[in-house]
Amino acid sequence: MLEKTIPSSGLSKFHQRRFKAQKEKGREYLIAWLDGKPVGNLDLRYDGFDSEKLPKDLRKVPELNAITVAEGCRGKGIGTALIKEGERRVEERGFKKVGLGVNPENEGAKRLYERLGYKDSGTGLHHGEWEVTDKDGNSFMESEEDLIYFKEL
């Protein structure tokens, strides 16, 4: 059902991989539901960021990753609810700070994060990559340059 409302690219099975990482790496994969349907997700990474550009102390800050809200469901507070739940869980584990990455061209996401108290780390763009499998089964790497934002809890 999750793949139907928030589909992975091609045969990538992003949701399946994130549930597996939840079991193996101590992460949490949060799913938002509306009227019995999954409408959003957030990959909570307690192990932090993998960017070499960040100072070592900031790499260990938990990351709210892959925050997604299904098309047609945006603007209803779902993203905010996912972020607040992620923050609550991070704080519950004793962390004092949380972070996330945002594409600098995604003005809507930047406005949301800033409204929720996130601030640009000032460390410039950070390169992120992930594996994607197209509909024919061919695997390749996709990437994005993101700004890293942090919030004191």
Q: Which residues contact 123 (CB under 8 A, 6 or more apart)?
A: 53, 54, 55, 58, 148
pLDDT in tens, 30-65: 999 999 999 999 999 999 998 888 999 999 999 999
Domain count of the fold of the chain: 1
pTM: 0.88
Q: Residue 19 forms beta bridges with which residues? A: none
pLDDT confidence of residue 123? 93
Instruction: pLDDT band for 17, please (50, 70, 90 cuts).
Output: confident
Q: How far apart are CA 89 and CA 65, in angstroms?
A: 14
Q: Which domain holds residue 47?
A: 2-152
Taking all residues of the chain, what is their mean pLDDT, rounded to a whole number?
89
The highest-confidence range among 11-15, 47-51, 115-119, 134-138, by mean pLDDT, is 115-119
CATH code for position 59: 3.40.630.30
pLDDT digits (tens, 9 = 90+) for 59-112: 999 999 999 999 899 999 999 999 999 999 999 999 999 999 999 999 999 999
